[in-house]
Structure 1
Amino acid sequence: MGVNVVQGVSRRGFLGASAAAGAFVFIGVETPASAAEGLADFPAAVPVHREVYRNWDGVVVTDALWTCVPRQSADVVAVVNWAHQHGYTVRAQGYRHTWSPLTVATGTAADSKVILLDTTKALTAMSLVGSRRVRVQAGASMENLLSYLSSKNFSLVATPAPGGITVAGALAINGHGTALPALGEKPLPGQNFGTVSNLVVELTAVVWDQASGRYQERTFSRSDTECKAFLTHLGRAFITEVVLQVVDDYNIRCRNRTDIASSELFAAPEAVTDRSLSKLIDAYGRVGIIWYAFTDRPWVQIWEPSPNRPLLSRPTLTPYNYLFADNLPTPVPQLLGQLVAGQDWVAPAFGNAILLATDTGLTALGARDMWGKSKNFLNWVKPTTLRVTAGSHAVVTSRANLQKVVHDFTSFYSAKLAEYQAQGKFPVNSALEIRITGVDDPTQIDVPGAEAPALSAARPVEGHPEWDIAVWLDLVTLPDTPHQNEFYSELEQYFRRLPAELGVARPEWAKRFAHTPAGAWTDTTAMQDEIPATLPEWDWTVSTLNKYDPHRLFSNPLIDQLLN
């Protein structure tokens, strides 16, 4: 089979040379450049160069674009005002750990009037302020934030698994982890079980000031109604600093199981056992699932707060304790190479080989049962992990409905996968990942008058206070896998047909969504009507963001379609 190309990215070119290692690393390509070459009057104090933008899964790739490195927030303001005067758009660039083209569009040409601001080099300061609060600049990584907090005896309840994402990036797309309280668990002061967006006490954004006719920084308290428009802004704003609510540090016992059959884990509500997902959530609160395609034993991750180390738990000192994920043994690399070459029929063998590697790796590394500081388990996905593309939805529902939501979806997914397989099609070759969090409940933030993030996928649903959790259902596969777009499209239709009494489904902004057979983000009806209809303050949020950026400096083609 020949090389497949989707959205200008060669499947073989993306994976080829690294397939044997099973680990794919991309870095920007930098070429020194003088601002005088093409950026007239550019702020002299801000270093600037040209750099290729490439996202996590390699689907979004651009020409070498103008990229600058602000050293302080005043530099951001200076560049933004320069961009306004010269007709440029401004895009914040973090670690590029995203699947959705919310920063720049793939194929953006070198002569496009867009400038990237790399916040990761200098806008990284953090400090404790007040009681259980941390002030942190936009470009700080979540890994460094957790490390800093731990050094001060503080932490967060949950964060996205990759540590290599910026705080502002997690905020823009309401990044989340896995976090619910176990039944009977006593909450810690300041404990928040929603997304990163719901941790914000105050934020500082670069906004248009009508009186001065310039962009300038403005701080919004969480008690300010307009703040909720910025808490999940999809890249339609530029945040320079946030204050987050934190909790006292705590220890975690992490157990990893591969002995529960999918039929038992995802059983119908009337057939649950103590090892079914809802019962595990009741017992431990924090449970994540990785279910490799075409296998029958998911990898179950359990993170249980545990003040003291159990006798048989291995102590840990650092995050990223699944080293086997970066050094996959034979025959995984060979099967991966076959997938890359277009031999998609090996997907079932690939899934079972990865499950075997997981089984072996967990045991060999003593990772079946571990214990240590919370930071050592909140981040567990390294940049060298197998890079896959992802499409995800959150179902906001009640805890009582959890088992039914998961059973119904996994039954549909399994039947659909079998249907494709019977036709000789293998659109999924990685895994279904399941995370469960609380909703973004503003009463969990210690600010009187706080409101929920307006565009968060985990925003509470008006009229349904019993819908208190978000079930994140994330399907991952290698980029450019044949028939993936059709498969994702059918899954999205499933979410749109979700029974009204069961909950509301919303896309996860950092992932792929709005599929047609032509690809992601091509379903204009979904983007302009169906998705906005799931969030009642959509129009208000668009209006508020437009008010603070009337010149649409902080936008791009996808954002223009969504937030028009």
Structure 2
Amino acid sequence: MPNYNLRCQSFTDVHYAELFASTADETPLSISKILDSAGRMEVIWFPFSQKPWLKVWSNEPQKPASSRAVSGAYNYAFSDNIPLFISNIIKGILVAKPKLVPAFGILQSVTTTLALKGGANRANLYNQVVSNTSSRSLTRDGVSNETITEEEFEAFLPYIEAVESTQPDNTNARSLFAQNYDIWGPAWKTLVYVRETTLRVTANGYAVHLNRADVQPFLHDFANVYLRLQSEYAGRGQFPIAGPMEIRVTGVDKTEGLNLSNANPPALSATTDTQDPNLDAVVWLDLLTFADMPWAGEFYQEIEEWLYQQLPAHQVRVEWSKGWGYNGAGAWKNEDFIANTVPTTFSTATRPYEETAARLRQYDPHYLFASSLIRKLVP
């Protein structure tokens, strides 16, 4: 397929209740409505914040007048230029003092809004987010107001200074060229943004196969479960999810259009066709946090159990590169999930799981190239 041009617009002024509305028609800014109009979108929802970072991609052969043409990938310097030692400092702070997670989530949300316009310097951030007069209280829906104290602001100065170092001089002459909220260029240049210097986090990951009409109600339910668990854990003084929720929606793997006879979709792809024509959309779910965050394994396990209680196993595939199979000890520790649930998720795939496992055993009969996890998946 030849490359084509995409416009990527970022928005940070849409409340999560609109995006995750119960029905598609409840609001023109529901996720489903955005998919209808543009086709590609992503939600990055920082913990305890009210307005996620929404990205919307649209096909634009010619550059729109208000867009900035980009010359390469990685166009969000404020989020993908965090030195490892800074990332480790933030991790150390939050692992030691989990009650700072709401403040960090709010700070990241405000930072994103300012940085997309090239103005996330220390002074602007301080004026926007610090309040020593209004108290912040936790609620079922997050927090009562999105402010942090001066002490919390000072705790995260290493992160703030790292972000500030990526921002241009705050002058009108450069602001147009600094903005990242409306970019345009070859598709991959607007889609690729995670690199080795992005904040170092861990994540769970699932690919949920749904009918397109069910995407909105499913995401509404998922968001409510996330908020409920976040509130319950916070009520016990536990803040395991220190990073954002990330949502993407794609199609399924099909072979039509490949111009190859007898082609089959990848056997173990998370998006391999279930052979049910009604399941034509895939919702990708990720919850990010720092490694070693207390109670993260338990939180992830509750999310995982909810997913497989809501839907048949063949509709919920694991994202191999992320965490799954959780218990209190962490990812890939739930032996029953690995041995029994994972194979079942491919029960309706073009090639059954056991057939694929047999082929892998044939290729490596002595398990010379197998890790301990592979041995569990392909016994």
- Which interval holds the TM-score relative to the shorter structure? 0.7 to 0.9
Deviation by residue 1:29-59 (Cα, 9 ceiling, x = unmatched): xxxxxxxxxxxxxxxxxxxxxxxxxxxxxxx
TM-score between both structures, scaled by the size of structure 1: 0.54
Instruction: Choose which of 275, 278, 285 in structure 1 pairs with 2:32.
Output: 278
CA positional deviation for 1:337? 6.3
Alignment of 1:264-303 (within 5 A): 264-269=18-23, 272-303=26-57
CA positional deviation for 1:248? 1.1
Q: Does 1:556 align with 2:371?
A: yes
Distance 2:72 2:330 in 1: 39
Question: SS of 1:248's equivalent?
Answer: coil
Distance 1:266 1:257 in 2: 15
CA positional deviation for 1:409? 0.7
Q: Does 1:498 align with 2:314?
A: no
Distance 1:333 1:473 in 2: 23
Instruction: Choose which of 115, 119, 136 in structure 2 pairs with 1:361.
Output: 115
Question: SS of 1:410's equivalent?
Answer: helix
Distance 2:34 2:81 in 1: 30
Asked if the contact 2:183/2:190 (under 8 Å) is kept, the reply is no
Aligned residue in 1 for 2:249: 436
Q: CA RMSD in A?
A: 2.1
Instruction: Choose which of 329, 341, 352 in structure 2 pairs with 1:518.
Output: 329
CA distance change for structure 1 residues 266 and 444 in 2, over 3 Å: closer, same or farther?
farther
Aligned residue in 2 for 1:388: 201
CA distance change for structure 1 residues 561 and 439 in 2, over 3 Å: closer, same or farther?
same
User: Which is bigger in relative contact order (C-alpha 8 A, separation at least 6)?
Assistant: 2
Asked if the contact 1:393/1:508 (under 8 Å) is kept, the reply is yes
CA distance change for structure 1 residues 450 and 478 in 2, over 3 Å: closer, same or farther?
same
Q: Does 1:414 align with 2:168?
A: no
Aligned residue in 1 for 2:260: 447
Distance 1:277 1:256 in 2: 14
Opposite residue 507 of structure 1, the aligned amino acid is V
Distance 1:320 1:326 in 2: 7
Asked if the contact 2:210/2:315 (under 8 Å) is kept, the reply is yes
Aligned residue in 2 for 1:543: 358
CA distance change for structure 1 residues 417 and 336 in 2, over 3 Å: closer, same or farther?
same
CA distance change for structure 1 residues 337 and 451 in 2, over 3 Å: closer, same or farther?
closer
Asked if the contact 1:390/1:511 (under 8 Å) is kept, the reply is yes
Aligned residue in 2 for 1:403: 216
Aligned residue in 2 for 1:79: none
Opposite residue 253 of structure 1, the aligned amino acid is R
Opposite residue 263 of structure 1, the aligned amino acid is A
Structure of larger gyration radius: 1
CA positional deviation for 1:548? 2.0
Asked if the contact 1:338/1:344 (under 8 Å) is kept, the reply is no
Deviation by residue 1:196-225 (Cα, 9 ceiling, x = unmatched): xxxxxxxxxxxxxxxxxxxxxxxxxxxxxx
Distance 1:383 1:550 in 2: 35
Instruction: Choose which of 233, 241, 251 in structure 1 pairs with 2:5.
Output: 251
TM-score between both structures, scaled by the size of structure 2: 0.79
Q: Does 1:467 align with 2:279?
A: yes
CA positional deviation for 1:336? 2.7
Question: SS of 1:472's equivalent?
Answer: strand
Distance 2:342 2:91 in 1: 37
Asked if the contact 1:335/1:349 (under 8 Å) is kept, the reply is no
Instruction: Choose which of 509, 524, 533 in structure 1 pairs with 2:344.
Output: 533
Asked if the contact 1:351/1:429 (under 8 Å) is kept, the reply is yes
Distance 1:445 1:412 in 2: 39
Aligned residue in 1 for 2:101: 347
Instruction: Choose which of 312, 335, 346 in structure 1 pairs with 2:66.
Output: 312
Question: SS of 1:497's equivalent?
Answer: helix
Post-superposition, which runs of at least 4 consecutive aligned residues in structure 1 deviate over 2 A?
A: 332-341
